[in-house]
């Protein structure tokens, strides 16, 4: 897959409002999450979200440093100042807004259920009754599954989405719930041919959020607004769609 060079520009260039002494450490999940972020054979982080980080930081005149951080500790890492921002497909939810602030959204895609092609069910509590559903811990998907499916459905929690996918392939679970784009990437692999999208779950903004944004510490308004400027700039000048076209058949900015 071709990659733009915007990330190299953003991470290597010292900008007017961010000097070498105040690099913005942008936390991404240390666990691979293709096509958004994953390490290549050389250990370099690549993917749509990595390129979007570079583009936003360049547009906002921020000097950014990608900092892989374990997903289940990424908000504590922000609070303790080990990182300065989170760009790891983190949904903007009322629960998270109690602890951290968010920029404007930079994408918004549906949440879907994927299961074996050999099984006939839909993405509803009735369809998943008696099934085993795998979800990644500390995600909106875990919260949603606990609220809508737990009881009639057995839930199994995983540290990474890839682990849930592997158990789905092996038949140890019947289904998994995650972002549609991440699961479409899984379904496009040879191993993913076992499975199919059973449907999108019913929307719940309280649990699933209002899109994905950049997480920053409470009160860090200057940094939040800088990211907002960057997001607005790349959506206005076509950079956002140019990057997205390398990864997706249609826009994922959402409504």
Give the tens place of pLDDT for each residue, 205-220: 999 999 999 999 999 9
DSSP conformation letters of 236-253: HSSHHHHHHHTT-SS---
What CATH code would you report for 6-108+210-245? Answer: 3.40.190.10
Measured distance CA(60)–CA(227) in Å, rounded: 6
pTM: 0.81
174-204 pLDDT per residue, tens: 999 999 999 999 999 999 999 999 999 999 9
Which residues, including other chains, have CB under 8 Å from residue 111's CB and lie 6 or more apart?
140, 141, 144, 177, 178, 179, 180, 200, 201, 208
CATH 3.40.50.300 fits domain 111-207? no
pLDDT attached to residue 250: 84
Give me 72's structure tokens. Answer: 């289940």
The pLDDT-based confidence of 249 (bands split at 50, 70, 90) is: confident
DSSP conformation letters of 162-217: HHHHHHHHHTSSSEEEEEHHHHHHHHTSSGGGGEEEEEEPPP-HHHH-SSEEEEEE
| Whether residue 7 has pLDDT greater than 90 | no
Measured distance CA(253)–CA(3) in Å, rounded: 19
Give me 48's structure tokens. Answer: 């749509």
Measured distance CA(191)–CA(169) in Å, rounded: 7
Average pLDDT over residues 137-164: 97
| Whether residue 20 has pLDDT greater than 50 | no
3-class SS of residue 130: coil
Cβ(243)–Cβ(6) below 8 Å: yes
Average pLDDT over residues 113-132: 98
> Would you say the CATH fold of 111-207 matches that of 6-108+210-245?
yes
| Whether residue 239 has pLDDT greater than 60 | yes
Q: Are strands 38-39 and 45-46 parallel, antiparallel or unpaired?
A: antiparallel
Structural domain boundaries in the chain: 6-108+210-245, 111-207
Nearest to 182 by CA among 74, 60, 50, 34: 34
64-103 pLDDT per residue, tens: 999 999 999 999 999 999 999 999 999 999 999 999 999 9
pLDDT attached to residue 1: 36
pLDDT attached to residue 235: 97
Tally Cβ neighbours within 10 Å of residue 22: 10
pLDDT attached to residue 2: 33
C-alpha separations of 200 from 61, 113, 253 in Å: 38, 6, 17
Average pLDDT over residues 37-59: 97
- Which comes out higher in pLDDT, residue 118 or 12? 118
Nearest to 111 by CA among 73, 137, 142, 138: 142
Measured distance CA(68)–CA(86) in Å, rounded: 10
3-class SS of residue 229: helix
């Amino acid at each position: 897959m071709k990659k733009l060079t915007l990330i190299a520009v953003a991470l290597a260039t010292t900008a007017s409002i961010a000097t070498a002494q105040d690099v913005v450490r942008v936390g991404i999940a240390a666990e691979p999450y293709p096509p958004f972020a994953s390490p290549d054979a050389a250990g370099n982080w690549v993917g749509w979200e990595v390129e979007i980080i570079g583009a936003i930081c360049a547009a906002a005149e921020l000097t950014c440093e990608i900092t892989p951080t374990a997903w289940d500790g990424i908000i504590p890492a922000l609070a303790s100042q080990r990182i300065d921002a989170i760009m790891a497909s983190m949904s903007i939810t009322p629960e998270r807004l109690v602890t951290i602030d968010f920029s404007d959204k930079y994408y918004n895609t549906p949440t879907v259920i994927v299961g074996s092609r050999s099984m006939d069910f839909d993405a509803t509590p009735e369809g998943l009754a008696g099934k085993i559903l795998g979800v990644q811990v500390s995600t909106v998907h875990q919260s949603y599954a606990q609220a809508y499916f737990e009881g009639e459905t057995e839930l199994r929690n995983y540290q990474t989405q890839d682990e849930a996918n592997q158990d789905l392939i092996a038949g140890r679970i019947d289904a998994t719930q995650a972002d549609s784009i991440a699961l479409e990437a899984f379904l496009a692999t040879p191993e993913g041919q076992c499975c199919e999208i059973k449907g999108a779950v019913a929307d719940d903004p309280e649990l699933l959020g209002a899109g994905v944004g950049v997480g920053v510490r409470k009160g860090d308004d200057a940094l939040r607004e800088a990211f907002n400027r960057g997001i607005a700039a790349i959506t206005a000048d076509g950079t956002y769609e140019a990057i997205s076209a390398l990864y997706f058949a249609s826009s994922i900015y959402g409504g």
